Amino acid sequence: MLYVGIDLGTSAVKLLLMDELGKIHSVVSKDYELYFPHPGWSEQKPEDWYSRTMEGLKELLKDCDKSKVAGISFGGQMHGLVILDKDDNVIRPAILWNDGRTTEETDYLNNVIGKDKLSQYTANIAFTGFTAPKILWVKNKEPENFAKIEKIMLPKDYLAYKLSGVHCTDVSDASGMLLFDVKNRCWSKEMMEICHVKESQLAKIFESYETVGNIKPEIAKELGVPETVKIVAGAGDNAAAAVGTGTVGDGRCNISLGTSGTIFISSKTFGVDSNNALHSFAHADGSFHLKSIN
């Protein structure tokens, strides 16, 4: 059988085709634009992610036995805010992880709501890159767009939604939103109230390795693959990379030097750094991890 991995990066989407033995059959990369409409802002168009992913899938699969394709899953840039209206149209460009516009909202969360409460609700404190401050920014600065929101999702989950029709996310990516109760692996009711978000606007939560559904029939037809192809939730980029490097279980560590630098420590048990100097997230292996980002 054949399996597709899709990595939605900040500068390009990378696609890989491999078999059940881990042999790589094909690799494709497709670039897209990154926009900086104001100093400190960083945005992309989710529609570009999808169109380039579909181009990449067609190129990736052109020389293989498409009847053997059994599954598609994802890794990708974390924290970005994608919002859709009731007709599934993207309301505004995605606000990315490296966007710095949310200083006021981050200060409000940390200093007015309070770091202790945030840590109690989510195991983390607010950073400008996280998703919750971005939601508050849209509410405060673009109320007309906030009023249209039907679905809130993360970047890679937009691709999963487009391919499966299921509004889904995984625990590792959801952990970086500041809306997720990491200890109990569910949405935080307190944070939803603080951010004026309804649970119906948020995705159904899956473990990274769980199937969210099958590929949509019309997408299967366009790609020439079986309608039985499974769409699997996937993981945020750091958690996915940790699985790939064997940083799973208890007490393993990796260091990543890329667009951002991270120290990633896997743990079988939930824990929060007393100074909140480390992110405490759910891991793609079904457990937890601590992470430092520079």
User: What is the set of active-site residues?
Assistant: 237
CA 6/CA 54 separation, integer angstroms: 11
Query: DSSP label at 228?
Result: T
Nearest to 90 by CA among 131, 48, 132, 41: 48
Q: Taking a C-beta distance cutoff of 8 angstroms, is the pair 254, 261 a contact?
A: no
Q: Given strand 253-257, what is the order of strands in its sheet?
A: 253-257, 261-267, 288-293, 279-282
CA 47/CA 68 separation, integer angstroms: 28
CA 155/CA 163 separation, integer angstroms: 13
On the CB side of 282, CA atoms within 13 Å amount to 28
On the CB side of 3, CA atoms within 13 Å amount to 14
Q: Tokens 């109990």 belong to which residue?
A: 184
Amino acid in position 151 = K
CA 234/CA 210 separation, integer angstroms: 8
CA 61/CA 281 separation, integer angstroms: 34
Torsion, Cα 148 9 231 288, to 10 degrees, reads -90
List, in order, residues 6 or more apart from 22 with CB less than 8 Å away: none
